[in-house]
A and B are shown apart, each in its own frame.
Chain A
Amino acid sequence: MRYLTLSRHSFCIAFVFLMFGLLNEAHAGVLPEDRADALYHRYDGGGEIVGGWSATFRKKIGENVDFNGSYDVDMVSSASIDVVTAASPYKEKRQQYSAGFQYLHGKTTYGVSGLKSSEPDYLSNNISYSIKEDMFGDLTTVTLGFTRGRDHVRQHVVDKATHTDTFSDKFLEFGNEVTPRADRRNYRVGVTQILTKKLIATVNYESQAMQGFLRSPYRRVRYGDANSTSISYQSELYPHTRTSNAIGLESRYYLSYRASIKIGYRYYTDTWGINSHTGDVQYVHPFGENWLSEWSLRYYTQKKASFYSDLFPYADAQNFLARDRELSTMSDYSFHFGLERKWKFTQKVFVKASFFYDRIQYDFKDFRNNLNSKLAPANQPLYKYGSNVFMLQGSLGF
């Protein structure tokens, strides 16, 4: 399919015109209310257990400027199938920091923020810009966003002889030394439209271009005869670019007894050959003034990347090789439940406690569970597993 690319040219034009919002002297918009949230989260599934917590806050400075920041930490005590079949289980800590400002002028909000994510073997630095504008008597909100990022991959190497840990950042590919960097350019356009007194619709479009070292240094592909137990492995090899386009539509409707229902759909496609469809439905139901529940179902299905295979016939079978199960033909369906209790003190000040649970079931159509190497690939079962996500959140409005 010939997909649309949001070129820098048209994006700049849109940016310039939204800057004209500076000339708009009509009644001003408002910045969101101050709030702080802290979240404890725990994921377990497929042998992985990832626990961590996140915190975020937003504070207005005067009426036109606000400052926001967030921090996330994840402790991965992982023994996922990738790791177990290729290496030994490990513990790893991921930290993410972000901070940003927003400036409101008339009906336009300008934002800039920085995000840094770091693990011992992966570092990502990103800067984002956004412009949001309310139009048509505040019935329409248009948001443009742009993110530029740079990732730096390292490989964790354990020297068994000297029992030392090092992180190597020079890899060999086809005998050439490559510096594992990746650059990211991400463009987003979102339009939220109030259709009736009870109905809101949103369209989101996102395009991302990545360039550089885009694979995991640890993962390998396998090759051989599907009916044989002697299987060989070689390093993955990915293209050096990946361009993706995604479009999402969602609509939320107010039910007169005080509840809402939302349906959403997203289509994704990229230059690696992955096409996916996501559908979800959410129902929000409050109980009285202080309690609120949310329920949702989500279904996701994707077609594999063109260079993905669970088992290649022989070594160097293709120019590009991947066995990352995220790039395989797969689907997942999930159920989400949330319950919140709010204590309101004044018009603005509140305290909220929330609990969330997700159950996600993954189903791989062309990735086999190769934990048992005594089985020939043809006899290994297709991989599937279920996971549970628990979250506890405390929120404060002030």
Chain B
Amino acid sequence: MKRTHSLMKAFACSVIAGISLLSTASIIAADTTAPDFTLPGKTSPTVQLSKYKGSVVMLNFWASWCGPCRTEMPLMDQIYKKYAAAGFVLLGVNVDTDSSDAQKFLSQVSVSFPIAYDRENKVSKVYDVAAMPSTVFIDRKGRVRQLHRGYKPGDENEYLSEIRALIREPG
């Protein structure tokens, strides 16, 4: 009886623990065409991804309740201001179901890049957002090139090197 219990425990622990070997695969893989979408915008009535073809697009999925998302906003604004003239767009896709929380945040931390509201999370689903924040780098031809999950201090350097590389490519 004691031995069975011991084995049961070992099994339970192993199932739980062994699953640490799992890795999640992404539906949005590199070198696929970035799915187009149209969402309501903050400063314009609609924001459509395909309109930015020819520019490098950095799609950033963020939420007002997500700490790292809020931390990287001012840094992303600096990046946007620096490279906008070179044909770069940073598109902030907000996933809050209630946009008023996002608007409150933006009134405190204003950014100059376009913001779109994905209130029903349809675009988040299509882009298989697996972490908050998530950043997708799209080249001038509209192809997904790089996925970045989460944000920790220092990640902005990775963003910069990716943007610089994509900007150099022809449209």
Chain B residues near A18 (CB, 8 Å)? 17, 20
Task: Considering the complex, give the chain A residue whose CB is closest to the CB of B5.
Answer: A4
Q: Which of A7, A20, A133 contacts B6 (CB 8 A)?
A: A7
The answer to whether the Cβ of A17 comes within 8 Å of any Cβ in the partner chain is yes
The answer to whether the Cβ of B22 comes within 8 Å of any Cβ in the partner chain is yes
Chain A residues near B70 (CB, 8 Å)? 347
Given A11-B13, A14-B13, A30 and B152 touching (CB < 8 A)?
A: yes
Chain B residues near A91 (CB, 8 Å)? none
The answer to whether the Cβ of A378 comes within 8 Å of any Cβ in the partner chain is no
Once the chains are docked, how many angstroms separate the CA of A18 from the CA of B12?
12
A63 touches B152 (CB 8 A): yes
Of A43-51, A134-142, A352-360, A381-389, the stretch lying at the interface with chain B is: A134-142
The answer to whether the Cβ of B42 comes within 8 Å of any Cβ in the partner chain is no
Chain B residues near A5 (CB, 8 Å)? 2, 5-6
Query: Among residues 48 to 80 in chain A, which have CB atoms less than 8 Å away from a CB atom of chain B?
Result: 63
Nearest CB of chain B from residue A334's CB, rounded to whole Å: 33
Once the chains are docked, how many angstroms separate the CA of A137 from the CA of B152?
18
Chain B residues near A133 (CB, 8 Å)? 17, 20
Once the chains are docked, how many angstroms separate the CA of A161 from the CA of B6?
57
Task: Considering the complex, give the chain A residue whose CB is closest to the CB of B3.
Answer: A7
Q: Mark A130-163, 1 if CB is under 8 A from B, else 0.
A: 0001011100001000000000000000000000
Q: Which of B2, B23, B68 contacts A24 (CB 8 A)?
A: B23
B17 touches A347 (CB 8 A): no
The answer to whether the Cβ of B86 comes within 8 Å of any Cβ in the partner chain is no
The answer to whether the Cβ of B16 comes within 8 Å of any Cβ in the partner chain is yes
Q: Which of A10, A107, A108 contacts B13 (CB 8 A)?
A: A10
Task: Considering the complex, give the chain B residue whose CB is closest to the CB of A131.
Answer: B17
Nearest CB of chain A from residue B62's CB, rounded to whole Å: 13
Chain B residues near A4 (CB, 8 Å)? 5, 8-9
Chain A residues near B150 (CB, 8 Å)? 27-28, 30
A14 touches B10 (CB 8 A): yes
B23 touches A25 (CB 8 A): yes
B10 touches A13 (CB 8 A): yes
Given A4-B5, A14-B10, A347-B71, A20 and B20 touching (CB < 8 A)?
A: yes
A13 touches B23 (CB 8 A): no
Chain B residues near A33 (CB, 8 Å)? 67
Q: Mark B39-80, 1 if CB is under 8 A from A, else 0.
A: 000000000000000000000000000011011000000000
Task: Considering the complex, give the chain B residue whose CB is closest to the CB of A142.
Answer: B16
Once the chains are docked, how many angstroms separate the CA of A135 from the CA of B23?
10
Q: Which of B67, B71, B130 contacts A27 (CB 8 A)?
A: B130
Chain A residues near B165 (CB, 8 Å)? none
Task: Considering the complex, give the chain B residue whose CB is closest to the CB of A133.
Answer: B20
Nearest CB of chain B from residue A343's CB, rounded to whole Å: 15
Nearest CB of chain A from residue B168's CB, rounded to whole Å: 28
Nearest CB of chain A from residue B106's CB, rounded to whole Å: 14
Q: Which of A26, A107, A137 neighbours the largest number of chain B CB atoms within 10 Å of its CB?
A: A26
Chain A residues near B85 (CB, 8 Å)? none
A21 touches B20 (CB 8 A): yes
A26 touches B23 (CB 8 A): yes
Nearest CB of chain B from residue A8's CB, rounded to whole Å: 10
Chain B residues near A2 (CB, 8 Å)? 1
The answer to whether the Cβ of A172 comes within 8 Å of any Cβ in the partner chain is no
Given A13-B14, A30-B152, A347-B71, A135 and B22 touching (CB < 8 A)?
A: yes
Nearest CB of chain A from residue B39's CB, rounded to whole Å: 21
Task: Considering the complex, give the chain B residue whose CB is closest to the CB of A4.
Answer: B5
Chain A residues near B8 (CB, 8 Å)? 4
Query: Among residues 104 to 158 in chain B, which have CB atoms less than 8 Å away from a CB atom of chain A?
Result: 130-131, 149-150, 152-154
Once the chains are docked, how many angstroms separate the CA of A380 from the CA of B136?
76
Q: Could you give 30 example pairs across A and B, Cβ below 8 Å?
A: A4-B5, A4-B8, A4-B9, A5-B2, A5-B5, A5-B6, A9-B10, A10-B6, A10-B13, A13-B10, A14-B13, A14-B16, A20-B21, A21-B20, A24-B21, A24-B22, A27-B131, A27-B149, A27-B150, A30-B68, A30-B152, A63-B152, A63-B153, A133-B17, A135-B16, A135-B20, A137-B130, A189-B13, A347-B70, A348-B67
B interface, CB within 8 angstroms of A? 1-2, 5-10, 13-14, 16-24, 67-68, 70-71, 130-131, 149-150, 152-154
